[in-house]
Every structure is written in C-alpha cells, then in structure tokens.
Structure 1
Amino acid sequence: MAGQAGILDSPEQRARWEGFQWTDAHAKRAREIIAQYPEGRQVSAVIPLLDLAQRQVGAETNTQGWLPIPVMEFVAKELDTSYIRVLEVATFYTMFNLEPVGRFHVQVCGTTPCMLRGSDDVFTACSKRGLKKGKTTDDGLFTLTEVECLGACANAPMVQINDDNYEDLTEESMGKILDALAAGQTPKPGPRVDRQTSCPEGGPTTLKKMAERNYDYRPQWTATAGLVGEGAQ
C-alpha cells in the first residue's frame, strides 16, 4: 500500500481538503450506493464510498488518487459512523492510498509465481526509468509499489497500473508500457503474448467454439452420454 506508514495530518493538508464535498455526479452515485444497504447497515457502504472519494481526489489532483484524513472524516460523516471505523478499512485494503501517489500507480507483483517468471526484470525496466520502490518520480508521473498476489498467476509476471492489468511481461514489454504512458498514450491492457485472458498461448485447446461465441455443447454431451449408456447395457 502506498503510504500506510505515513498517514499525513498537517495544517497544509487540512487546509486543502477540509472542505471536501462530492461533485454533483458523485453525490448522486453515493446516494445510490448507500441505498443498496438495509436501514441501519449503511456503514457497509464504506468501501465503495472510499473508492469514490479516492477517485474524486485523483481527478482533482491528476493522480491515481489518495485519501487525505479530512476526506476520510467526510466519508465517516456521510455514513454516520466514526472516523476510526473508516480508517480501519482504509488501512486494511491495498486499493486505498493513504498518501499522495503519481498519475500512474505502478503496482508490481513480487509474489512467488511472478518472481519465478521474471518480476525482477519488470523492476529492472522500472529502475531504468527512474522509478524506485515506495517513491514517486520527481515529475509526479509514476509511483512504484511492490505488492503481493494480484490474482493473475497464470499470466505472470504482471503489474497493475491504476485500474488496468498488464501481463506476461518482459523487461522490454514493461519498458514499452512505461514509455507509452509517459508519452501520453494508453497501452492496451492484458497479456503481452498471444493468448485470450488466461487461455494457453496461441488460443484455447479445449471448448474452442466458446472463444468465438456462447456455443452450446450440451447436445453433444447428451448424445455421448447416451452412447456410453447403451454400451454399458
């Protein structure tokens, strides 16, 4: 998590964020989210509201977003709960940043599958472009964080950059992604090899028609089951 150990509470941050309020669009969305929970259980909306607040801060600062203390206090008031209950959630989930991050938050998975498949090469590509773990580049463009499993082990090594995953990385392909982002481009997320999501390289090896459309295999399975039943007799 970016900044879990360095939660900022300063006069400057309070002056900047003390008057935080939803935008009109986010106020409408917040009401819709809270309405999804039973009366008396609205505090359960804390995760989506923190995410909404972080995104609004990101839009205002041209970063991925983070959660200043006054913003978390605002969310607590919205849910009629204590600040500490909101802070407990924000410090538990790595999706929440507790100090400023860059425009692009580069989260490199360093867990065993990614490490064995070359996450060190991914870090090398980052290092060559001035990215350092736990730091934001001087231009405010990138923040680099090493994280635990991001759930794409079959496509290791991988990174998450803001909301997108980039997978099957090499030092070269990771470098191209960072260069494209720095140039204001939007590289296509997903695998860097010839595969669909987590299918084998080159495409699926079974149920191939399902990759083209929602193909119904059940008639074939039923017919096969009938032949097996007749053979048993």
Structure 2
Amino acid sequence: MSSFKESKIEDFAFDFLKEYYAARHSTDYLFVERNLQTKRGNQVDGIIACHANDDSHFISSIHLRGSDRLARLLTNYKKNGLGKLRFLTALLVFATAFFLFREMQSLLFMSIVPAVTALLVFIIHSLLKERLLQEKVKSIVDELRKQPADEQWLGISISSLCFRNNSLAKYLLQLCEKRGIGVITVGKRARVVLMQRPRTIICRRGDFVSHYSPEDKIRQALLNQTYLVVA
C-alpha cells in the first residue's frame, strides 16, 4: 500500500515564490535569505529581494513557523467542528436545573426553564469556543506584523481541500485579506496552491531593506546584480 510522504511548506515555499517574483519583475536574479533578524530583534523565516520594475528595492517576507499550529487548528476544526464538550455541558446544566425545579414541584419550571437554560449555555459555550479558536489563528497571523516587507506571505503545510466548508479557514483567509497577506499551502502531493495573493505595502521612509540586520549584505547583492545587468 503506497503512501504519500508528508510535504512541508518549508521545502517548497521559496522555490514557488522565486518563480512568482521572477515572472512578475522580469528578472532571473533574486536574493534569498533564510532565518534572519530585523533590527528590532524579530526573527523572520525568510525574505526574497530584487529590483522592482521601477528599479527600487523590493522585498517580500515569508512566515512558516506557524504552519504546524495552523494546520492542527484548521484540520481539527474540519473534522470535529467546535467539539462535543459543549453538548455535555448543556446536558449537565439541563439535568441540574431539572432536579432543582423538581424539588419546587413546578411543572412549568421543570419543563421550560431547564431547556432554555441549557440552550443558552450551549450557545454561549459555542460562541466562546469559536472566539478562542479565532484568537489562536489571529495570534499566529499577528507574527507577520513584525516582518517589514513590501509583501508578506503565510505558508501552511496543509491540503487546500481543508479550506472547503471550513469556517475557521474562511476566517483565516478573511483576516489575511484584510491585512494584505498572501497565503500558500502545500499538501501531501507536494503541490503548492496559491490561496490568496498579497497586497503591496508602501514604505513611508526609504525601503523595507533598511529594517533588516543584514541590510548591507542585501544591498550589496542587489548592487552587484545591477552591475551585471548593465554590463
């Protein structure tokens, strides 16, 4: 019985983005650096830099460290939804309320109040659980705020099929779209899927290269490429 080897987004993201930006900026040269820091001490999984069509310095960042956590959250939600604990909680509340009002010997309270109370508890529990899951997703996406770049990407090792009929995955895409973050995934068949394109951010001062610790290294690499193109 054959099985697919587990594919990791780390093994495919950079090649995919290199092809993406090479075609977009009409260049064969792209500077790629993995595991670097910003001047504020924030860790970045990787960047791709090049000359844009207007000859300015362009840089994109990719966030991969949240891949496993996001994959677990989205997959578990796809399989189990909000879970069964909320049903048990509602049942316990119903049983407790029923026995309490039984002592009062009130048929009206025994038949209505426990059911209404259990329903309210079920709804509140569901809303809180959904909010908790959304906050976990948001905390991972928030990591990209620490990665200054013209365009930002989020990579996830997960099948694109997991996004179908998955409201938590829909929330992730909506959140990323709102913040202008691109999303790519890779499943077991090692096929990278572009789920969402990023929105370009305008740097208010200079360019985003100046935010990274190896700024001189990046600029020198891009400068050398300029000389090669002129030559």
TM-score (norm. length: structure 1)? 0.24
Q: Which has more radius of gyration?
A: 2
Greater share of strand? 2
Q: Which has the higher contact order (CA 8 A, sep 6+)?
A: 2
Greater share of helix? 2
